[in-house]
Amino acid sequence: MRYLISEVARYFGTAVSALRYYDQIGLLRPAGRRGTVRTYGRDELLRLALIRLLHHDGMMSLADTATAISGNPPGDQPTARLVIAESIRVVQRQVQQLREAEQVLEHLLTCPRKDPIRDCPVLRAQLEHTVDAAIEQPEDRS
């Protein structure tokens, strides 16, 4: 079974222009054409599902997604495993940042102060630390 580009876009909740762009950069080629309209088969839908998993779900950039799913690229470009390993490090940093954000929000929710945003000494100390760290950073003069 073949699906028109507009159907695929609707099924996957993506823009037709995104599918055209994926074709343009060689990330997702259509199985064929019906006149001038791109059509996609099951294999292309599976590849699009993989693209959505890796890129749209926030795991990696579109360029890294292309590298990861294209196998081992020629030359000195990173291999899929290197890209995946770096993406894991990025996701781990994001998870840590979200955990820290959760702790701050939970504290503010349970802070005994009447107005925790303005009166919480724990929040104030954290903000003071953030300001001090920002001020101490050497200026980027490059």
pLDDT, tens digit (0-9, with 9 covering 90-100), for 63-94: 999 988 886 555 666 788 888 899 999 999 99
Q: Fill in the amino acid letter for 17.
A: S
Tens-place pLDDT, residues 29-72 = 999 999 999 999 999 999 999 999 999 887 899 999 998 888 65
Look at the pTM and tell me if it is higher than 0.75: no
Q: Look at 74 and 117; give whichever has higher pLDDT.
A: 117
If phi > 0 it is left, if psi is from -120 to 50 it is alpha, else beta; for residue 75 that is left
The burial of 83, by beta-carbon neighbours within 10 Å (0-12 exposed, 13-18 middle, 19 or more buried), is given as buried
